[in-house]
Amino acid sequence: MPVPLPSPLYRAALSALALLAITALSARAQVGFKNAFPGLTFKLPVYFGELPGVPEKTYVVLEQHEGAVTLVTQKNGAWTKSTFLKMDVHQGGEMGLLGIAFHPDFRNNRKYYINYDPPGNLANIIAERQADATLLKDAGTMRELIRVGDKYDNHNGGTLAFGPKDGFLYAGMGDGGSGYDPDGNGQNKNSLLAKMLRIDVDKKDAGREYAIPTDNPFASGGGRGEIFAYGLRNPWKWSFDPVNGDLWVGDVGQDTQEEVDIVTKGSNQGWSTMEGTGGDNNGSMNVPVFTYDHNTGKCIIGGVVYRGNPASKYYGTYFVTDIDSKTLWTLKKNPAGGKAVSEKAGTAPANISSFGTDAEGRVYATGIYNGTVYMLDSPDLGPAPTAVPGSPAWKDASRRILTAAPGSRLDPSAFGTAAVLGIHGLDGRLLATVARETPGLPIGLKPGIYFASPEGSASQAMVLMVR
């Protein structure tokens, strides 16, 4: 006897249920945003990070036109703010207090670096400052390193960061503003504008407040020695992958395309000959790993690579958004080169101006106009493990001892067959990861005794002596 077919009404109900199930799964797959500090707001926040070297977990937020470095801590269950630094800055357009980077040895030398625009004549300044003995407040001293004159109040770049592998200070500089690069700074290797700069703040060359790293592309001539890469329009937000050292840059476009670049030493990113993938590539210009047109968004906000939990599906993923469309994308580097693998991962609840991470690898974003700091919310974006499974096996770590210095390369045999080596404190807490392809210890790792284990496996643990 033939089985009767479901009625049209029944089939419609099944289709609706299937659609609801697919929608629910899709919704669960999206990355959310939750208020990281309920009860607190900030004025034009443009940076988020964590203050190193202090015993109590302390976060850092830059307030652009306030010229304020604001600290956030939790006391008696409530989030509170305090002022680390307050200074006069240019409050027009895209200018203000734009970037901060803490020296890898901040705990001991108390040095940190800011990128800002002073009031009065237009200029971009990179300066060294120092915290007081508590590390929680500026001590009032400043040493100006670089001053670049400017004609316009837009395209100032601003991000600062120390290279995780070399310990040098990197600074992103915009092309000087207006539109269409009127002074041709993008391809002018004798201008510091439209460049990624790289300097050694621990040394001084004659006539400078810093030294030029000897392996910079133009250290011996052919351009300004400070230049690491060129052809950038406005590298407003960029960051290093803390594991492999890749330099991911969100470069804001002009009329047609927004782009993400993986910038390398000596690379020419094409501006203003190229915008995104458009224009004339003379064969020497790097092609972006991700682009979208202005039907999709109008201003890219470069992000960060998630390096929290190595077991997460997002481990090694770069998060990026657009301040206008609010679309959140994830990018995965293509090992063969070329375009990154991209996926839409959600929608921001506000106009995002920057991303940041804390010491455990959680990802945060700053809402520029509503003043809210968000934490990206997903079960797959949790912190690094606080202890390694099977931690009693650490007792067997003494079977092998590694000795290395901060920044030095580990012996490849330490990795076994693993791609990543976990560096742990004596309590088992994961402090850092080192990739086989770039096996240098983090430059900021303090001398001492640690455990190291391939892929975080305590059963293969070794003692690591950092000297």
pLDDT-derived band at 2, boundaries 50, 70, 90: very low
- Higher-confidence residue of 22 and 80: namely 80
pLDDT tens string 232-253: 999 999 999 988 899 999 999 9
The pLDDT of residue 335 is 87
pTM above 0.85, yes or no: no
The pLDDT of residue 291 is 98
Cα 202 to Cα 149: distance, rounded to the nearest angstrom: 24
pLDDT-derived band at 384, boundaries 50, 70, 90: low
Q: Are strands 462-466 and 401-404 parallel, antiparallel or unpaired?
A: parallel
Which among 265, 259, 262 has a CA at the least distance from the CA of 279? 259
- Residue 32 host element (H or E): strand 32-35
**Average pLDDT of the residues of the chain:** 89
Identify residue 394 by its one-letter amino acid code.
Answer: W
Name, in order, each residue with C-beta under 8 angstroms of 113's C-beta and a sequence gap of 6 or more.
Answer: 100, 101, 102, 103, 126, 127, 128, 129, 145, 160, 169, 201
Six token digits for residue 236 = 């407003």
Identify residue 129 by its one-letter amino acid code.
Answer: R
pLDDT-derived band at 20, boundaries 50, 70, 90: very low
- Residue 271 host element (H or E): none
Six token digits for residue 437 = 């392809």
Cα 372 to Cα 370: distance, rounded to the nearest angstrom: 6
Six token digits for residue 294 = 């202005």
The pLDDT of residue 448 is 76
- Start-to-end CA distance of the chain, whole Å, equals 82
* Distances, alpha carbon 18 to alpha carbons 8, 25, 28, 92, in Å: 15, 11, 15, 52
Cα 235 to Cα 108: distance, rounded to the nearest angstrom: 31
Q: Are strands 327-332 and 318-322 parallel, antiparallel or unpaired?
A: antiparallel
The pLDDT of residue 14 is 37
243 phi-psi bin (left φ>0, alpha ψ -120 to 50, beta other): alpha
Rg (CA), the chain: 24
Q: Is the pLDDT of residue 356 over 60?
A: yes
Six token digits for residue 227 = 């230049």
Cα 393 to Cα 216: distance, rounded to the nearest angstrom: 44
Which among 457, 461, 396, 388 has a CA at the least distance from the CA of 428? 388
* Distances, alpha carbon 264 to alpha carbons 87, 196, 230, 267, 413, in Å: 34, 10, 10, 5, 27
- Residue 464 host element (H or E): strand 462-466
Which structural domains are found in the chain, ordered by start? 32-381 (2.120.10.30), 391-466 (no CATH)
Chain mean position to CA 111: 20
pLDDT tens string 22-75: 444 444 469 999 999 999 999 999 999 999 989 899 999 999 999 999 999 999
On whether the CB atoms of residues 252 and 299 are closer than 8 A, the answer is yes
* Mean pLDDT lowest among 21-25, 197-201, 335-339, 404-408: 21-25
The pLDDT of residue 318 is 98
Residue 428 — φ and ψ, nearest 5°?
A: 90, -5
